[in-house]
Structure 1
Amino acid sequence: MTDPRHAQPRPAPADTVHLREIKSYVLRTGRVGPGQARAFEQYGPRFLLNYAPGAFDAEAAFGRAAPLVLEIGFGMGGATAHIAGVRPQDNFLCCEVHEPGVGALLKLVGEQRLENIRILRHDAVEVLDHMLGEASLDGVHIFFPDPWHKSRHHKRRLIQGPFVNRLARHLKPGGYLHLATDWEPYAQQMLEVLSAEPLLQNTADASGAGFVPKPDYRPLTKFENRGLKLGHGVWDLVFRRA
């Protein structure tokens, strides 16, 4: 599938030109099933937002004022729906371009009667650049981003210094950035990158070697459960804006 483009973005600010080389997603093909297609028709008009450069009015989009959390790349949406369900006091703005995943989350939103999710089918980097102001977010979730295993592909990894700085500047003071990965070399790189960002402070204590126990709100995915049974690790990082 290709990335839907609903509007032509305005030029990025001079300090964010470097981000144009990084995308927050990997293009994947996939078929939208009948249930997902029905969810698009039934729930899309209410829970899907159009990408539109300009200041994002979160209160108007959600119909209330509440802490705003940005999720970048939610896959098939199971974890997103769970978190929204156990944190009804928060609003979740979710970016994903994989259409079957969007349909799957819409289906869960309808089945679980979730009111605190809105979805943007667009690159989260451009959403940050053109819709969200600095110090506008109470949290950011990025769970299991593509690790780009081969060394020559590491430059494609999402978690790099310039992007993390951009995320940090979008967080309110005290806002948090939560990352999770099941690829240890990427976990170590994430830790190095986040630790080097002066706007962020690690919430882990010394005993965790920089990582934190899985927060209660993040559920175990079926793939994560399978990996843990095979002895594979999962690493969570939670940093806060100073």
Structure 2
Amino acid sequence: MPEPRIFRDEPVSFVRRSGRMSDGQERAFAEHAEFYLLDVERGVATTSVHADARLDVASAYGRSAPLIVEIGSGQGHAIISAASARPDDDFLAVEVFRAGLARTMLDADNAGVRNLRLIEANAPEVLDPYLPEGSVSEIWIFFSDPWHKNRHTKRRLVRTGFAEIAARALADGGVVRLATDWEDYARQMREVFDEAPDFERAFDGDWADRFEGRVMTAFERKGIAKGRAIRDLSYRRSPRT
């Protein structure tokens, strides 16, 4: 069995700024974390996942259903909308910012959404090894930090090696969906997945059509307001041999 990958030897795709949550956010955590937030054993950092930690997906959701994972779920607008519209699927929001997690839990509870769980963790460590191999139907990465300065691009989530991590988590035929308003990052994403042997394009032409299951969020509106084109990509996981 291969040695587990040590993700903290690599730059993470976020800067986790400390900050006090509002009283309402604190209440949301206190009232809703027991149901929504997965309790994960940590490794070396507060957002790490211990190399031996594994999720029992059926136990976490109380059933077996297709699992959709959104990386960088922010305040949860996209994933709550999707979970409400797709009650036969299960959803996992991966986020490191506690205020966003608190807002997601509060809004999910208010909307009566029960097929959603959240995890406060570095996304690559969730995909490998925390989630069982082949357990995910879709991975969503919408408007992740483009780290547009040249000295920071090494921190982008979708970079060399990421497709391999995503391929491990995805079931055969599973789909990774991506969107960004930063052209350079979009081209990097496309290059990473075009070169990945475990993926094939699920679109024709240069870019995919806008994913109809993605609701308009503040990040997308901000990009449009600044005159940046929104570029979508989608890739299908090839069958394992």
TM-score by length of 2: 0.87
Which whole-Å CA distance do the structure 1 matches of 2:21 and 2:76 have between them?
14
How large is the Cα RMSD of the aligned pairs? 1.9
Q: What is the aligned partner in structure 1 of residue 159 from structure 2?
A: 160
Question: How far 1:15 sits from its partner (Å)?
Answer: 6.6
Instruction: Give the counterpart letter for 1:189 in structure 2.
Output: Q
Equivalent positions of 1:170-189 (< 5 A) are 170-189=169-188
Alpha-carbon distance between aligned partners in 2 of 1:227 and 1:95, rounded to the nearest angstrom: 22
Change (3 A) 1:218 1:25: same
**What are the equivalent positions in structure 2 for 1:111-126 lying under 5 Å apart?**
111-126=110-125
Query: Secondary structure of the residue that 2:161 maps to in structure 1?
Result: helix
Paired position in structure 2 for 1:34: 23
Whether the 8 Å contact between 1:25 and 1:96 is mirrored in structure 2 is: no
Q: 1:121, 1:202 → 2: CA distance?
A: 30
1:199 corresponding residue in structure 2: 198
What is the letter of the counterpart of residue 89 of structure 1?
D
Q: Select 1:48's aligned residue among 1, 19, 37.
A: 37
How far has the Cα of 1:195 moved from its partner?
0.4
Q: Indicate the percent of aligned positions where both proteins have the same amino acid.
A: 39
Paired letter, 2:231: W
- TM-score normalized by the length of structure 1: 0.87
Q: Which runs of 5+ in 2 are unaligned?
A: 42-51
In the alignment, the residues of structure 2 paired with residue 121 and residue 176 of structure 1 have an alpha-carbon distance, to the nearest angstrom, of: 23
Give the alignment partner of residue 227 of structure 1, picking from 223, 227, 232: 223
Aligned to 2:79: 80
| Structure 2 Cα separation of the partners of residues 68 and 138 of structure 1 | 5
Q: How far does residue 19 in structure 1 lie from its aligned partner after superposition?
A: 7.0
> What residue ranges of structure 1 are gaps of 5+ in the alignment?
1-11
Q: In structure 2, what is the Cα distance between the partners aligned to 1:20 and 1:118?
A: 28
SS in 1 for 2:68: strand
Note if 1:218 corresponds to 2:214: yes
Question: Hey, what's the Cα distance between the residues in 2 that align with 1:149 and 1:92?
Answer: 29
Q: Secondary structure at the match of 1:89?
A: coil
Contact 1:39 1:107 in 2 (8 A): yes
2:33 and 2:6 mapped to 1: Cα distance? 32
The alpha-carbon deviation at position 84 of structure 1 amounts to 1.3
C-alpha distance in 1 between matches for 2:129 and 2:192: 24
Output one character per residue of 1:51-98: Cα deviation in whole Å (capped at 9) or x when no partner: 134331111101111001122111111112112112222111121120
SS in 2 for 1:148: coil
Q: Which runs of 4+ in 1 moved over 6 A?
A: none
The answer to whether the 8 A contact 1:36-1:106 is kept is no
CA distance in 2 between counterparts of 1:90 and 1:72 reads: 17
CA distance in 2, matches of 1:30, 1:178: 31
Deviations along 1:135-167, whole A, 9 cap, x unmatched? 121111111111111112111111012121111
Moved more, 89-98 or 20-29: 20-29
The reply on whether 1:135 has 2:134 as its aligned counterpart is yes
